[in-house]
Structure 1
Amino acid sequence: MAIVVVIAGTWLGYQQFAATGCTGAVKLTVAAAPEIAPAVEQAAQQWVRSGAEVSGTCVAVEVTQENPASIAGAVSREHNVTLAGLGVAPDAVQIPDVWIPDSSTWLLRLQKEAAGFIPPKISSIAQSPVVLALPEPVAEQFGLPDKKMTWDTLLAQFGTDKSLSVGIVDPAKDASGLTSLLVLSQVAGTDQAGLRKKAQALTALAQNSSALREDLLQRFPNSNTADDLATSLNAAPLSEEDVVAYNAKRPPVRLTAAYLEPSPAPLDYPYAVMPQVTEAQKSEAADGLLAQLSDGVFKERLGSAGLRAPDGTYGSTFQAPIGAPQASPAVAASAAGGDVGGTAGAGTDAAALSRVIGSWVATTRPGRVLAVFDVSGSMTTAVPTAGGATRAKVTQAAARFGLGLFSDKWAVGVWRFSTELDGKKAYKELEPIQPLTSGRAELNASIDQLTPVKDGGTGLYDTILASYSYVKQEWQAGKANSVILFTDGEDSNAGITQKKLLAELEKIQDPKKPIRLVLIGIGNEVNKAELETIQKVVPGSGVFIAEDPAKIGDIFFEAIGSRTGAN
């Protein structure tokens, strides 16, 4: 019977190809996010059955369901880069001709890290707003869906004895978690009160995070009993499609979708033709399939999958959650192909995404870092955008906030440098690298010692070599080992030359013990070319310039969340 079916299918396919007059075959591979893959598969097969062809050659389309993080890991592998918090995919995961992830934020992150990753064509084919999912009994406590709920309301829940149990899918691996955390960070603000709110929120979310969306959904309550509601997940930022799919399974407790304001960038499902597609026929086939995913029939297929059309509207088959708007509250714009500084929906840019991921990594991932601070005389320069505070004061404030956000999984050390701080040495250890579980108080106290040295110079080269060598000696497996150095000038010390520094850095590197060197320039007097020259000899390192020292905190977390320099 199997043989008969195969022969019959082959004969039917031959008749269809023969009817169109096409010969041969061009195969198009498509990897799509699991929730949209069935709709794409249906559209592709209908196109093939109706005689898909390009320039007289028959088209065959293979659609597979792939988690966006898996394909992102495969692209990272091929470009010899890594996305912070993600890692690379195994060799078994192959890059398709066309990739349809759930969000263009994946493309932005890859474009920022891999200079050669430039998809020639990107177009959004669907949309799903990012919402706050709450069990119906919990939603009723907030007057939903009749009342509006804001991010301020959610932020107020963190750090109180009546706080909700709010979960999140790892933002480094999930677009809905990433875009929602971005908005939460923006709403919290950048003043001291806002930074405390952000730290409380990140700490609470980290305790209820999941690596996979499916795992998080399983943590919602299975009954309306008070005990179950109290011990289960009370809320989580997810996509509207997640809520629709969850409720379609008729769970004991349904979910309500709260459309918070301001709206996060919705998932925009970009149709990205991958850079390796250079063959004309395959490129035409990709265009042909895109046309099939842009008509009214596909909009109805999207509705059946719980998804909206790219403009935020939906078809007649869409089962809208209670309180859902007719049109999406925010319409996403796909990242421009080849534009490394491009934006996703709602103006999201790659640098902003790196900052969010950096703060998340600091909160959730284990690491060892030596923080090295410039205390030369120029650090007394006033910063107009920081109310006249000196560069040193601004840097100290950023250091305190950063240290407060690092979880107890981290070990941190602090050095200061100028010229002749310890005898003839340009640098001096304030605290050795030590676990925050026991050394947080001492490390906090050391920040007070980052006061500028009057007329002190900048012993940059000696300090970089010494700090890198120290971290190598203290290196530990299974953790991110790094040096983060802050400076507002260029080397002015009578120590080793730049040529000597570069030669020594190349000599002491050990591929089995990778160390990331992060150089953060403060102000507009930094010798950017000097820092870039040093960066190039240490793989995986980066140079980040905070021309406005008041924004050093943002640059700090961008450095942690990125694997390349944002020069």
Structure 2
Amino acid sequence: MARHRAAGEGTRRGMARWPFVIVGVVALFVLGYLSWTWLGGILDRRAAAQAAECRQGELVLRMAVTPSVADPLQSAAIAWNGQRPVIDDYCLRVEIQALDSPTVLTALTQGWDTGKLGQPPSAWLPESSLWVNQLRAQNKSLLGAPAESIGNSPVVLAVPEPAAQPLRSGQGFRWSEIPGLLAAPDGWKRFGMDDWGRFTMGVPDLVRNPASALAVQCALAWAGKKERGPVTMDMLTLPAVRTALNQVAKAKVAGVPPTTQDALVELSKNPDLATSPYDGVPVLEIDLFRRNLGVDGKPKPDKPLYGIPAAGPAPAADFPLLPLSGDWIKDAQVRAAQKFGDFLREPAQEKVLAQQAGVRVRSTNERPLTSPGITWIANDDLLAPADENTSQQLAASWASSADNGQTVTMLVDVSGSMHADGGQDKSRMDWLKAALRGQVDRSVSGSMGMWEFSRSLDGKKPYRQLVPTKGIEQQRNALRGAIEGLKPVSATQLYSSLAVVYRSAVENYEQGRTNRIVVLTDGPNDGGLNLQQLQAELDKVRNPNKKISISFITIGPDPERAPLTKIAQSTGGSVSVAADGAAIDPALAQLLSAG
């Protein structure tokens, strides 16, 4: 029997899918539009908020940095900039410029050459606070805030390999022994080398080489019975300290290059102690690390020098980050420099400083993987450095002790304005006389003379010679008497007086010494020769074989810098600003310590 399909039974048909596809596409479009609108709103609000935060726009924090730490600071700058820091409605950005510290100091105090150096910095990170001290002595107003250390590097003695083992044996090498070792005819006997003879050390200029200055400070601290420092002004007058300083100064090897780097290069060229001009050079550990790798701009040595760390308290450079002040610097940049300094002291950045540059930091003991000649021996027993005034006075005393001293003619302003308040209930003249007395008492060799100037001091002459420029040992009492007799009178006829003093200095030039005129004044020229006439008078007697620099220390907050700078630069001198009386002494010491 045939079977028939039931009603409604047959082939089943599915529902059409295209309506669902259309609905899905529309839904996705709507959701996409809503999501885009929502995300765009967030981005717009964020951009608006950021724009509101940076209403003042972008501000660059330019940092002049000593080359030894420029690379890790560049890495830190990239990381900090990535955080988009905002201060006082400015978006801050750090730019790092590697510049050696002598260049920065000279440019900041004597005029920044934008053509050669670019825009001036708003912060400075030299290798040592000794540079900050010199900046403060020349122009305190350039300091925007206290400097803060980001790490340190101890001073070691760099020697060729044959000398390393004897110095490490026995009691080891100590900075306290340096004066005696250098003075003895058989200094190497102390280290068991009886037939090696005299122990010699190349000591580049204390003013331009912090390693030299810190090493000498450490030796004097021991001589002053204060082995952990700091060396003080009072200690510089102690017989034992003066003897130690003279021993080091008189043992100075002739022909030592002016920089630590060049002294190391010369030492590397001749590692044979029998023929080498000197046996060792004090150097920052970080600089010897760079020298041995040849990454400091000089060719890599054939054989590395070895860094001998001292037993006992060790001197160390402190790498201070200094916010600067000037008419080109905003408060936000000062604060940014401080914030960036805090960032550099975070563990992540300290690790980079330690691994890349060998800076010793608080949070890690890591060191560079490749470091020939360096042992990285830990030593937390560091010398407390001298304060700014003492460090300047020490450098000045060194300058007067080494190379038979220098020839200095003082030209002192005794105009009526020297009666003005110099701070701490003392007049400017009181402070000036105290500074001059200190220099006379601390100088141990060389020549010094003194003139005063105002108006009608000697008949119609605005100047008067008080003490001729001769050996200081012969006329120390005469100089002291002249200083005590200084009294403010009337006007400031500087240019007429300076023309006569310069002529006298040329006529009495002392060969083989640094000859300089130092002018201490608190006001602009107000009579007699004008600037053009003075320049003509100087040109009449100028002698290329008798180089005499004219340097100025201006007393007071608002000096007339432009004409004085022109005179100073034409003679190889400088202009320093002592904003108050207390700044005269370190400014004078800094000037007399300069080569």
Distance in 2 of aligned mates of 1:298 and 1:214: 27
User: Does 1:242 find its partner at 2:297?
Assistant: no
Query: Contact 1:133–1:258 at 8 Å: present in 2 too?
Result: no
Show the counterpart of 2:176.
Answer: 152
Distance 1:446 1:415, change over 3 A: farther
Deviations 1:263-292 (A, max 9, x none): 22x222122222247546655654554354
Deviates more, 1:18-27 or 1:287-296: 18-27
Alignment of 1:374-413 (within 5 A): 402-404=443-445, 406=446, 412-413=448-449
Change (3 A) 1:304 1:251: farther
* TM-score when normalising by structure 1: 0.61
- Tell me whether 247-256 or 161-170 shows the greater mean CA deviation: 247-256
Identify the residue that residue 52 of structure 1 maps to in structure 2. 84
Query: Cα distance 1:196–1:348, how it changes in 2: closer, same or farther (>3 A)?
Result: closer
**Offset of 1:231 from its aligned partner?**
1.6
1:175 corresponds to? 210
- Pair 210,222 (structure 1): closer, same or farther in 2 beyond 3 Å: closer
Select 1:304's aligned residue among 355, 361, 371. 355
Contact 1:30–1:61 (CA under 8 A) maintained in structure 2: yes
1:114 pairs with 2:148: no
1:298 alignment partner, SS class = helix
For the Cα contact (< 8 Å) 1:170–1:209, is it kept in 2?
no
User: 1:543-554 maps to which residues of 2 (within 5 A)?
Assistant: none
8 A Cα contact 2:86 2:92, kept in partner: yes
SS at match of 1:167: coil
Report the secondary structure of 2:321's partner residue. strand
* Superimposed CA distance per residue, residues 143-190 of structure 1 (whole angstroms, 9 cap, x where no aligned partner): x16633222321113234343331233222232222223333444454
For the aligned residue pairs, the C-alpha RMSD in angstroms reads 5.4
The equivalent of 1:354 in structure 2 is 392
**Which secondary structure state, in structure 1, belongs to the residue aligned with residue 94 of structure 2?**
strand
1:30 aligns with 2:63: yes
Instruction: State how far apart, in whole Å, the 2-side matches of 1:153 and 1:509 are.
Output: 55
**1:307–1:470 distance in 2 versus 1, CA, 3 Å:** same
Distance 1:401 1:474 in 2: 25
The change in CA–CA distance for 1:502 and 1:309 in structure 2 (over 3 A counts) is: closer
Contact kept? 2:204, 2:256, Cα under 8 Å: yes
C-alpha deviation, 1:558, in angstroms: 7.5
Q: Does 1:480 align with 2:513?
A: no
Deviation track 1:453-502 (CA, whole Å, cap 9, x = no partner) reads 9xxx957579x999978634413398411489xxxxxxxxxxxxxxxx99
SS of alignment partner, residue 62 of structure 1: strand
Q: Partners in 2 of 1:413 and 1:114 — Cα distance?
A: 26
1:42 matched to 2:75? yes
- Are the equivalent residues in 1 in contact too, given 2:66–2:125 (CA < 8 A)? yes
Which residue of the other structure, out of 355, 359, 369, is the alignment partner of 2:408?
A: 369
Q: 2: CA distance between counterparts of 1:284 and 1:415?
A: 46
Task: Please give the per-residue CA displacement for 1:287-328, whole angstroms capped at 9, x wherever unaligned.
Answer: 554354222222221122343344495325466766544344
Q: 1:199 aligns with which of 234, 242, 246?
A: 246
Matches for 1:67-106 after TM superposition, within 5 Å: 67-78=100-111, 92-93=116-117, 94-106=119-131
Deviations 1:92-151 (A, max 9, x none): 334212221112222222223313223236332221112222223223233x16633222
The amino acid that maps onto 1:271 is L
**1:101 and 1:503 mapped to 2: Cα distance?**
34
Long gaps (5+) in structure 1: 1-16, 79-87, 332-345, 373-394, 417-426, 435-439, 485-500, 520-530, 548-554
- Which amino acid is 2:86 matched to? V
Are 1:124 and 1:310, in contact at CA under 8 Å, matched by a contact in 2?
A: no
**8 Å CA contact 2:66, 2:99 repeated in 1:** yes
Is 1:257 aligned to 2:287, yes or no? Answer: no
Normalised TM-score (structure 2)? 0.59
CA distance in 2, matches of 1:293, 1:123: 11
The DSSP-based 3-state class of the residue aligned with 2:366 is coil
Give deviations 1:517-559, integer Å, cap 9, x for gaps.
Answer: 899xxxxxxxxxxx99xx999976999x999xxxxxxx99984
When residues 459 and 215 of structure 1 are mapped into structure 2, their CA distance, relative to the original with a 3 A threshold, is closer
- Between the aligned partners of 1:134 and 1:73, the Cα distance in structure 2 is 31
Hey, what's the Cα distance between the residues in 1 that align with 2:276 and 2:63? 41
Q: SS at 1:218's partner residue?
A: helix
- Cα distance per residue 1:212-247 (max 9 Å; x no partner): 3321220113465454xx324311221111222234
Is the Cα–Cα contact under 8 Å of residues 39 and 302 in structure 1 kept in the other structure?
Answer: yes
Counterpart secondary structure, 1:154: helix
Counterpart residue type for residue 169 of structure 1? P
- Provide the residue aligned with 1:135 in structure 2: 160
Task: Write the letter of the residue equivalent to 1:272.
Answer: L
| Distance change in 2, residues 1:536/1:158 (3 Å) | farther
Hey, what's the Cα distance between the residues in 1 that align with 2:133 and 2:576?
A: 19
Q: Which has the higher helix share?
A: 2
User: Match for 2:397: what amino acid?
Assistant: S
The runs of 5 or more residues in structure 2 that have no matched partner are 1-42, 52-56, 186-196, 225-236, 295-300, 412-435, 453-462, 539-548, 565-574
Contact 1:129 1:329 (C-alpha < 8 Å) held by counterparts: no
1:326 corresponds to: 378
Q: 1:273 aligns with which of 323, 345, 353?
A: 323
- Return closer, same or farther for 1:516/1:261 CA change in 2, 3 Å cut-off: same
Name the CA shift for 1:507/1:515 in 2 (closer, same or farther; >3 Å).
farther
Larger radius of gyration: 2
Percent of aligned positions with the same letter in both sequences? 17
Select 1:231's aligned residue among 268, 271, 276: 276
CA distance in 2 between counterparts of 1:546 and 1:206 reads 38
1: distance between equivalents of 2:393 and 2:84? 44
Q: Residues 231 and 509 of structure 1: is their aligned pair in 2 closer, same or farther, counting only changes over 3 Å? A: farther
- Which amino acid is the alignment partner of residue 127 of structure 2? D
What is the match of residue 7 of structure 2? Answer: none
| Amino acid in structure 2 at the alignment position of 1:42 | S
Number of equivalenced pairs:
450
